[in-house]
Amino acid sequence: MTGQDAKAKMADAMAMDFRRDLEQDNLPEDEILARLEKSYSRIISSPVIIILCVDFSEMDDYPDARRAEAEKIMAVQSTANAGLQLLLAVHAEGLGCVWTCAPLFTPDTVRALFNLSTTWEPQAMFFIGYPAETPKLRERKSIQEISIFL
């Protein structure tokens, strides 16, 4: 999505859900307003937004809960892998990208906004554009700290 009207409509609709959640967290009104403004600004100012969804109609049907849950997890993992590929492709083109999970918290709103099938579950929102700055690299744990080698 690149149109300002579509982005504004999405930002307004998602803000209602976000406000409700923040109010349920008993946050002070000034903090709620600050978070809503930051969210709105990110959506409106992004040159390109991509909403990534998983389509549960493509999953295999299993009669038992264990395998049905595993199939759902595989679908979500596959969608996350598609998101990773998108991040790599964007980077390869010299662009910047931010992955947010906002659609996970407003799935019905996102479906309604874009007239998506009920089998589509919004998973992520990507803000894509030319980066304003290059962030400092964070220190990472060594591979030995996060892996077990057998």
Domain boundaries, the chain: 4-131
Crossing angle of helices 29-45 and 4-24, in 10° steps, is 160
Average of per-residue pLDDT across 105-115: 93
The whole-number pLDDT of residue 134 equals 81
Q: Which of 61, 51, 65, 39 is nearest to 121 (CA)?
A: 51
Residue with tokens 């406000």: 19
Per-residue model confidence as pLDDT tens digits over 25-75 = 999 999 999 999 999 999 999 999 999 999 988 888 999 999 999 999 999
Residue 97 pairs in a beta bridge with: 128
Average of per-residue pLDDT across 74-79: 94
Tell whether the model's pLDDT for residue 100 goes beyond 80. yes
Superfamily of domain 4-131: NADH Oxidase (3.40.109.10)
CB-facing half-sphere around the CA of 66: CA atoms within 13 A: 0
